[in-house]
């Protein structure tokens, strides 16, 4: 044994001070390896739809209802199962209704408590008692542990078991206990949550989703392009800030910035009233939902246009700063003929809907006006000093990344950029070319420097890369040749609106391509899957989310209401437990109120993607790999104790 190994074992002996302590931990860890693996839950492209997100999170994409069905079978009615499921999802709200409507409330408490305890016994059966104990609410930990570890059918314990529930009801603690049990079921039914990108933009509640994720027990995030642009805005990138505000205005969700994050947009409103008060803003319609206050429509339309023009100017500055990205085709402000009301795009001339640009100097089109510069500095300060936004973005950095390898699966938001022949596309980043996994890694490195670097030059370089990740042709999370924002606003000819997808999307049905990608990331193609989102699957046109015979799964089915007409559904989610993987296609979620009042769950179709030939255990997971390594170290410590090279205390 060398000195370094001996030093490590002596350090380990401080935690396990004797042969008995080390032996007990080995026995514990070895037994954990044989438990069923925990259930993983995959969501993507949530786009601010917080009500549907929270409902799917509460029901575990049908996992709670499946546990209820498994536990009760035909012993209770379907109506009772629906009622029990809704109670588990929304305990506080259902208790309020029960207190008003139930004729015999104590009887309802007793039945509900018995059923909830039965469900908890089932959902906790795959975990160690220690893990369950850590999940228990502090106020009721002892009582819950007694209830779920005792068998009520045993004659000697039946009276003891029933008396616990009777006393809970008698002393008036039943409502609080029911809430605690319901939240515990939600906690235990899903072991780990994967968010495969795009929490932000379009919907009204990304900040609510982020608050929920920050409190979730076990989660990782693969950054989507709509997340990365918010991360850049929080870092202080003027270009990302302009994009974030423009998109918020476009989808009628400026309230996310103002009310959700407390970012002051009064300077922007003042600028718009002074500069765009008489300007034609008809090309900048707001795609608002039923919650939008239309009294703000004229002002918000002006904000929409003002931020778009600032964005186009800042994009031009970026493109000229980075010729290596070959984005010259996005330099369009200097190709406008203001007299003819036309623009040159791709060598052709197109009529423009609008050339009323009060802040654009035709001779220096990419320079911000003095007023625009002052405005952007004020907005930059607001974003960088917003404590809540900074907390959310730090969470994305801490729990997230460009991709994730987890339990033999590869998770990323968009694609691995490919050439037409299936080879990995090379992208030049600061003088060096990268492709495949190396491209992902270098982009993530600079995205982190863009937020955390102390050196201003390094920080700015990182922020430029963040914007490239958002919209660059070689970006894995964008995956298109261009973002045709300018054309969609100003040019009626739809040919200019085309955003051609990367070759990945025409090649991902080929097994050799999928295998090559998996191997590039160090995975054995046998049994591994690629899980990604980003491009909505148009089920309405017969498209399937299952690609390459189940090796690749695209689970963006249109969570965002903006995509419902295009996809025909309201999103896909994926559930992977010890027995297999199933894809869940969700119908439209009406509202939280309807889910509570009418006990209407999301109607979902389940597709069995894969059934494992052998039930997967903890030993088959990444956690299992770590446990096996710990066992090996502990066995080495045992040997050291026995041979006297490390002394017991």
Residue 606 bridge partners (DSSP): 584
Rounded mean pLDDT, 273-302: 86
Averaged confidence pLDDT in the chain: 91
Q: What is the pLDDT of residues 115-163, one digit of tens each?
A: 999 999 999 988 888 888 888 888 888 888 888 876 655 556 677 888 8
Per-residue pLDDT at 62:
87
Q: What is the pLDDT of residues 89-115, one digit of tens each?
A: 999 999 999 998 888 999 999 999 999
Per-residue pLDDT at 55:
87
The strand pair at 546-547 and 552-554 is best described as antiparallel
Per-residue pLDDT at 538:
64
Backbone phi and psi for residue 607, each to the nearest 5 degrees, phi listed first:
-115, 120
For residue 209, what is the DSSP state? H
Rounded mean pLDDT, 77-83: 91
Q: What is the pLDDT of residues 257-268, one digit of tens each?
A: 999 999 999 999
193: three-class secondary structure by DSSP: strand
CA distance 254 to 76: 47
The strand pair at 400-401 and 403-406 is best described as unpaired
Instruction: Reply yes or no on whether the pLDDT at 530 is more than 90.
Output: yes
The strand pair at 219-222 and 192-195 is best described as parallel
**Interaxial angle between packed helices 105-123 and 155-170, expressed in degrees from 0 to 180 and rounded to the nearest 10:** 130
- Please list the alpha-helical segments (H only) found in 124-153: 129-135, 141-149
φ/ψ region of 172 (left if φ > 0, alpha if ψ in -120 to 50, else beta) reads: left
Tell me the three-class secondary structure of 445-466, residue by residue. Answer: HHHHHHHHCCCHHHHHHHHHHH
Per-residue pLDDT at 543:
73
For residue 545, what is the DSSP state? S
């Amino acid at each position: 044994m060398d000195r370094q190994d001996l030093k490590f074992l002596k350090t380990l002996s401080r935690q396990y001070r004797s042969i008995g302590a080390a032996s007990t931990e080995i026995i514990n860890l070895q037994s954990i390896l044989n438990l069923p693996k925990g259930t993983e839950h995959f969501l993507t492209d949530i786009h601010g739809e917080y009500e549907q997100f929270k409902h799917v999170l509460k029901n575990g994409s049908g996992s709670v209802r499946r546990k209820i069905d498994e536990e009760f079978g035909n012993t209770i009615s379907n109506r009772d199962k629906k009622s029990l499921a809704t109670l588990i999802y929304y305990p506080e709200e259902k208790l309020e209704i029960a207190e008003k409507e139930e004729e015999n409330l104590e009887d309802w408490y007793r039945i509900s408590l018995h059923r909830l305890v039965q469900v908890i016994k089932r959902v906790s059966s795959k975990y160690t008692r220690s893990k369950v104990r850590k999940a228990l609410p502090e106020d009721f930990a002892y009582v819950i542990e007694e209830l779920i570890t005792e068998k009520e059918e045993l004659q000697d314990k039946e009276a003891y078991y029933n008396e616990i529930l009777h006393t809970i009801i008698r002393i008036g603690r039943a409502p609080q206990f029911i809430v605690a049990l319901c939240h515990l079921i939600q906690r235990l039914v899903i072991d780990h949550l994967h968010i495969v990108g795009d929490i932000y933009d379009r919907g009204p509640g990304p900040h609510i989703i982020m608050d929920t994720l920050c409190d979730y027990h076990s989660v990782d995030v693969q950054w989507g392009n709509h997340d990365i642009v918010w991360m850049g805005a929080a870092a202080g990138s003027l270009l990302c800030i302009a994009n974030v505000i423009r998109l918020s205005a476009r989808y009628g969700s400026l309230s996310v910035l103002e009310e959700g994050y407390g970012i002051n947009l009064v300077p922007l409103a003042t600028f718009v009233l002074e500069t765009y008060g008489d300007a034609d803003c008809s090309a900048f319609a707001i795609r608002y939902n039923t919650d939008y206050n239309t009294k703000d429509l004229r002002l918000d339309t002006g904000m929409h246009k003002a931020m778009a023009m600032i964005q186009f100017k800042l994009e031009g500055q970026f493109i000229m700063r980075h010729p290596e990205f070959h984005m010259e085709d996005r330099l369009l402000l200097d190709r406008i003929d203001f007299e003819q009301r036309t623009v040159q795009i791709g060598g052709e001339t197109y009529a423009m809907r609008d050339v009323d640009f009060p802040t654009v100097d035709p001779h220096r089109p990419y320079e911000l006006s003095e007023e625009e510069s002052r405005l952007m500095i004020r907005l930059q300060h607001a974003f960088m000093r917003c404590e809540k936004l900074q907390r959310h973005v730090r969470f994305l950095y801490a729990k997230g990344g460009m991709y994730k390898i987890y339990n033999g699966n590869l998770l990323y938001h968009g694609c691995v950029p490919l050439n037409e022949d299936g080879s990995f596309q090379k992208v030049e980043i600061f003088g060096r070319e990268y492709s495949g996994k190396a491209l992902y890694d270098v982009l993530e490195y600079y995205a982190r420097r863009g937020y955390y670097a102390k050196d201003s030059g390094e920080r700015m370089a990182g922020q430029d890369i963040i914007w490239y990740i958002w919209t660059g042709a070689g970006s894995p999370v964008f995956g298109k040749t261009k973002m045709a924002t300018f054309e969609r606003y100003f040019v009626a000819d739809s040919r200019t609106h085309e955003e051609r997808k990367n070759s990945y999307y025409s090649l991902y049905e080929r097994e050799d391509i999928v295998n090559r990608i998996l191997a590039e990331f160090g995975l054995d193609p046998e049994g591994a899957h690629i899980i990604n989102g980003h491009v909505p699957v148009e089920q309405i046109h017969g498209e399937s989310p299952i690609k390459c015979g189940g090796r690749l799964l695209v689970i963006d089915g249109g969570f965002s209401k903006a995509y419902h007409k295009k996809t025909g559904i309201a999103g896909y989610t994926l559930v992977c437990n010890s027995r297999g993987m199933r894809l869940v296609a969700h119908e439209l979620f009406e509202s939280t109120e309807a889910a509570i009042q009418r006990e209407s769950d999301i109607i979902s179709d389940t597709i069995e993607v894969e059934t494992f030939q052998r039930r997967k255990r903890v030993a088959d997971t990444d956690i299992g790999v770590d446990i096996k390594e710990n066992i090996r170290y502990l066995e080495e410590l045992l040997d050291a104790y026995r041979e006297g090279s490390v002394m017991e205390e």
